[in-house]
């Protein structure tokens, strides 16, 4: 088959900033802690431990007190650019190699190092303070002496910790008790897995039945837990109580866990600590912080090597012209030192200062208020980004689902017509006795109205009952106030659920008149517009799963005794469950194209005998030992036939402001956007459409779930036949593809206009970023708002968290003696030329408004032309021309004394430097003018103190002035002419926008 993907081995490419990527388990083995092992944890007795456990300390710093200085210096000098200047300065301690005073070389280098060390120190201190704030959070610990306060960093494995509502869980724990009357609690996990869904957690039944929390210390019990690992969605363990007769054992799963980083959303909970410190699930899913080096720095480092190679060649030529006489090897080193200014240390100073200015400008940008720059070493990376990888929840969206559409087949209600739905509900519960049927006209109209009202009522009632939402009443921050709950006060009620979709639906039914006011494990209460309370008994509930894509509930109306089976789910599964209709598929497609997440709602009335038969078969299936899941599903499916289609609901996850125009701008700028989220496939797909990450004229290929090599091969071939098609893939399928077809998958994915990866684990997000960098060699930027995004942000090149002269020696008989000595060298590298070059950070090709209006201009930055080899070669040729002009011009025009050559050539050099900066500027800023004049003034003022090198009386003569003017003019005028001609006949792409 011609479109088959050839089976190729996975190829790895070494990165320039590579570092050990060992996970936590590998780190433990390397440090001698041994293999991670399962553990037995006694409740309330941390001293009864079978192994040593790490301290519960969060540390996101790159260095500690002892490694800071060596680490910073190593990160500076591991690159040739900085190492070159260090070796150059150290060479001056050898008398035979010294060319001038030590301060000539050590002062500039010391300044650069001081700036770097101070910058790194400030960033480390900020990181330390953030970690200290987290580690110092205070919690309550149950002890034999009662409740004591303890800092997060002092919590140990085996401690019984009390966590209040809205407090972050400090360590990985097993859920033992809750203050909630319904015997469960909800967690907010957005900082762990990126999902907005609140997760329902259940306490250990044995400990929840105890009279008080203090009784946890009176029983003899322990938890047996699996070894530490990175899986945040699964857990295997057991709870055992030994002092009962017989001993009680309970199986523990993910439902009984409280992972560190999650937030308690309801009630007060008590848990026993299982894992701490580096063994936490959240920490194991986070990569170690690393020092990032910008692409611009790498390019400068590469060009420095080229210049050094040229230095070596020129030095060898000089020695060869002397026929390698005498100690020629020493002469080579002296020439290398003499020509060392070809690689100016002022460039290092200007680069560091420029980065600081860029960071300051980002912090002060009025369009992005509150921005904090965490790293001031890579701000220029933002101008070279090719791939933007973003989280969904809280980054593209606001974590708020809004009900947008109710479709009944013959009529649809949008936000502008919800008052009609409200009137229908009101009429159902407040309608008056009907008039006698003598008046045919009005009676017919009333019948039609009642029919529509009945349909609307049935749909709203189904939505109000078919969910997993629990109303909780709060008063002054305290949950479950008895009076508030008794009176069902609207001002005190908040909804808790495992899905924001369900909360949006229940909030909508409240807005149209049918309010969920109470719920526990076995009952539910609704309030009508007439303040009547409707009571329902929950007979069975079938939760939503990723595989089934639907959820159902069976309730009994206490007032009528009617038993009804309600179900809602995705159209792909509900289409085969509901009765035949001719509008479901078409309307689902229309609503999906609007970016709405569509749910199909249906119902089925059950007779008492029919339900009793189902219940018997259902209980029997749940008691099965073999194929329990299959048998349970088969029994449920026996009810899912010929259900009555009630309505379609459409909800939308509210996008962040300006997301759509921003993504449009990025797309026009040539930046590809990948969305990596831990959310469900349907939600991620809807958000991608709604945010216009996928344009309306682009197809979407949903990569079906694959579990082995063969399935992955077939699905990749199917995807390969698509063109200009966005890709949506789940984390499980992605893992299989990367295992067997890493190269082929990345090759196809990189050709997509957009990629959406759903159900992504934090480590997978980081892996995708790393693969993009290795396969494409392009710069990546990662944007996220949660703890689950930290690894991705750290792995990316740029992370966003919602933060020449050398000609004199060849003239003077190839002697290795310097023309400019002492302060002249320092002055040229710093105050004489630094300010104008540094002021170039203020230069703009176009205004920011124009750049946002025409994002296509960004594509020029991706080409890297300002620092390409062609550009570098052009500037080398310009340097040779200007250096030769200045040197030979000074020789031709110099008078009787040597110092006159120094005066003429050095002054011409300074003026040429200032004019070349002016030649480079595209848009003048008043600070640029100040920098030019300030540098010139500094040079003129310093002439008074440079009488050792320059004849002060000579520079005051007319001869000096005209000679310097001629040399400078010959040096710069041809370049200005060439620049004019180039802009005249080959203008840059932005020139038309600035004219």
796 Cβ contact partners less than 8 Å away, ≥ 6 residues apart: 389, 769, 780, 781, 782
| Rounded distance between C-alpha atoms, residue 467 and residue 390, angstroms | 30
Among the listed residues 370, 285, 395, the one whose alpha carbon sits nearest the alpha carbon of residue 794: 285
Question: In this structure, what token pair is assigned to residue 953?
Answer: 């009386």
Question: In this structure, what token pair is assigned to residue 41?
Answer: 């944890």
Catalytically active residues are 391
Contact between residue 270 and residue 162 where contact means Cβ atoms under 8 Å apart: yes
Among the listed residues 780, 785, 753, the one whose alpha carbon sits nearest the alpha carbon of residue 768: 780
755 Cβ contact partners less than 8 Å away, ≥ 6 residues apart: 672, 674, 675, 726, 727, 728, 729, 749
Q: Please report the sign of the dihedral spanned by the C-alpha atoms of residue 391, residue 396, residue 400, residue 403.
A: negative
Question: In this structure, what token pair is assigned to residue 397?
Answer: 């969206």
Q: Which residue numbers belong to the known binding site for Mg(2+)?
A: 391, 393, 785, 789
Q: How many CB atoms lie within 10 A of CB 472?
A: 21
Residue 248 pairs in a beta bridge with 241
404 Cβ contact partners less than 8 Å away, ≥ 6 residues apart: 414, 415, 594, 596, 650, 651, 652
| Rounded distance between C-alpha atoms, residue 808 and residue 821, angstroms | 13
| Rounded distance between C-alpha atoms, residue 313 and residue 812, angstroms | 19
Element (H, E) at 329: helix 328-338
Relative to beta strand 493-496, strand 478-479 is unpaired
- DSSP characters over 682-735: HHHHHHHHHTTSS-TTSEEEE-----SHHHHHHHHHHHHT--SEEEEEEHHHHH
Element (H, E) at 160: strand 160-163
| Rounded distance between C-alpha atoms, residue 702 and residue 896, angstroms | 83
CA–CA–CA angle 592, 593, 596 (5° rounding): 40
- DSSP characters over 517-534: EEE-SSEEEEE-TTSPEE
Contact between residue 472 and residue 479 where contact means Cβ atoms under 8 Å apart: yes
Q: Which residue numbers belong to the known binding site for ATP?
A: 391-393, 502, 544, 568, 597, 677-679, 759, 765, 788-789
């Amino acid at each position: 088959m011609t479109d088959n993907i050839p089976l190729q081995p996975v190829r790895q490419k070494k990165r320039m900033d590579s570092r050990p990527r060992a996970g936590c388990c590998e780190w433990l083995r390397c440090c001698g802690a041994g293999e991670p092992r399962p553990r037995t944890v006694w409740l309330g007795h941390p001293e009864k431990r079978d192994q040593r456990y790490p301290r519960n300390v969060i540390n996101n710093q790159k260095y500690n007190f002892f490694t800071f200085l060596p680490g910073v210096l190593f990160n500076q000098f591991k690159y040739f650019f900085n190492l070159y200047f260090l070796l150059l300065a150290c060479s001056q301690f050898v008398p035979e190699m010294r060319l001038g005073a030590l301060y000539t070389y050590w002062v500039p280098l010391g300044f650069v190092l001081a700036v770097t060390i101070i910058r790194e120190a400030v960033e480390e201190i900020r990181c330390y303070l953030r970690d200290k704030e987290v580690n110092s959070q205070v919690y309550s610990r149950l002890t034999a002496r009662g409740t004591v306060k303890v800092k997060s960093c002092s919590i140990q494995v085996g401690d019984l910790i009390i966590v209040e509502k809205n407090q972050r869980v400090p360590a990985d724990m097993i859920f033992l008790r809750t203050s909630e009357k319904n015997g469960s609690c909800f967690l907010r996990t957005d900082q762990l897995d990126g999902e907005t869904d609140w997760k329902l957690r259940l306490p250990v039944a044995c400990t929840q039945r105890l009279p008080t929390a203090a009784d946890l210390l009176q029983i003899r019990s322990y938890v047996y837990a699996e070894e530490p690992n990175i899986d945040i969605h699964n857990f295997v363990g057991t709870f055992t109580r030994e002092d009962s007769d017989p001993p009680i054992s309970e199986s523990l799963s993910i439902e009984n866990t409280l992972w560190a980083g999650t937030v308690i959303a309801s009630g007060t909970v008590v848990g026993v600590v299982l894992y701490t410190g580096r063994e936490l699930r959240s920490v194991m899913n986070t990569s170690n912080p690393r020092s990032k080096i910008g692409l611009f720095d790498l390019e400068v480092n590469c060009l420095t090597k080229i210049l050094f190679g040229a230095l070596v060649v020129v030095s060898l030529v000089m020695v060869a012209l002397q026929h390698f006489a005498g100690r020629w090897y020493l002469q080579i080193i002296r020439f290398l030192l003499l020509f060392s200014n070809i690689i100016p240390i002022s460039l290092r100073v200007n680069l560091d200062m420029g980065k600081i200015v860029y960071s300051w400008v980002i912090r002060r940008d009025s369009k992005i208020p509150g921005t904090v720059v965490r790293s001031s070493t890579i701000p220029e990376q933002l101008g070279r980004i090719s791939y933007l990888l973003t989280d969904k929840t809280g980054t593209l969206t606001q974590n708020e689902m809004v009900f947008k559409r109710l479709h009944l087949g013959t009529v649809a209600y949008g936000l502008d017509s919800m008052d009609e739905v409200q009137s229908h509900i009101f009429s159902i519960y407040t309608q008056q006795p009907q008039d006698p049927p003598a008046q045919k006209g009005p009676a017919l109209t009333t019948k039609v109205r009642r029919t529509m009202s009945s349909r609307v009522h049935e749909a709203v009632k189904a939505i109000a009952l078919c969910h997993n939402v629990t109303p909780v009443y709060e008063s002054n921050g305290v949950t479950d106030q008895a009076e508030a709950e008794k009176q069902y006060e609207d001002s005190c009620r908040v909804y808790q659920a495992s899905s924001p979709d369900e909360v949006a639906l229940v909030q909508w039914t409240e807005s149209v008149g049918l309010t969920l006011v109470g719920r526990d494990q076995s009952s539910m209460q609704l309030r009508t517009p007439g303040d009547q309370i409707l009571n329902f008994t929950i007979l069975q509930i079938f939760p939503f799963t990723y595989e089934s894509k639907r959820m159902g509930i069976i309730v009994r109306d206490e007032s009528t005794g009617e038993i009804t089976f309600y179900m809602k789910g995705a159209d792909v599964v509900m289409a085969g469950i509901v009765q035949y209709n001719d509008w479901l598929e078409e309307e689902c497609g229309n609503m999906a194209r609007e970016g709405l997440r569509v749910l199909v709602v249906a119902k089925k009335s059950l007779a008492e005998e029919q339900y009793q038969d189902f219940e018997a078969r259902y209980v029997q299936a749940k008691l099965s030992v073999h194929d329990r899941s299959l048998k349970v599903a088969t029994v449920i499916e026996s009810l899912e036939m010929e259900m009555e289609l009630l309505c379609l609901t459409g909800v939308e996850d509210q996008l962040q402001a300006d997301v759509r125009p921003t993504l449009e701008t990025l797309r026009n700028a040539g930046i590809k956007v990948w969305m990596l989220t831990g959310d469900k496939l349907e939600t991620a797909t809807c958000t991608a459409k709604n945010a216009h990450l996928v344009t309306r004229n682009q197809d979407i290929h949903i990569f079906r779930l694959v579990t082995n090599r063969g399935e992955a091969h077939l699905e990749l071939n199917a995807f390969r036949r698509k063109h200009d098609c966005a890709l949506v893939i789940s984390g499980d399928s992605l893992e299989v593809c990367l295992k067997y077809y890493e190269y082929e998958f990345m090759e196809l994915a990189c050709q997509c206009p957009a990629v959406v990866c759903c159900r992504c684990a934090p480590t997978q997000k980081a892996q995708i970023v790393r693969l993009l960098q290795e396969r494409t060699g392009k710069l990546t930027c990662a944007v996220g708002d949660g703890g689950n995004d930290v690894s991705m942000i750290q792995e990316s090149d740029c992370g966003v968290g919602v933060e020449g002269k050398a000609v004199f020696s060849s003239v003077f008989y190839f002697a290795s003696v310097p023309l400019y000595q002492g302060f002249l060298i320092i002055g040229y590298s710093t105050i004489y030329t630094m300010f104008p070059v540094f002021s170039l950070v203020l230069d703009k090709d176009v205004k920011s408004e124009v750049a946002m209006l025409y994002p296509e201009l960004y594509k020029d930055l991706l080409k890297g032309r300002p620092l390409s080899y062609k550009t570098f070669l052009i500037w080398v040729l310009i340097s040779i021309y200007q250096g030769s002009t200045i040197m030979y011009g000074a020789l031709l025009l110099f008078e009787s004394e040597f110092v006159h050559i120094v005066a003429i050539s050095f002054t011409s050099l300074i003026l040429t430097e200032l004019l070349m900066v002016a030649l480079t500027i595209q848009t003048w800023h008043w600070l640029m003018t100040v920098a030019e004049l300030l540098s010139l003034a500094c040079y003129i003022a310093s002439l008074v103190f440079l009488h050792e090198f320059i004849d002060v009386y000579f520079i005051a003569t007319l001869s000096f002035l005209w000679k310097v003017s001629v040399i400078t003019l010959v040096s710069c005028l041809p370049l200005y002419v060439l620049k004019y001609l180039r802009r005249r006949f080959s203008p840059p792409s932005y020139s038309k926008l600035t004219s």
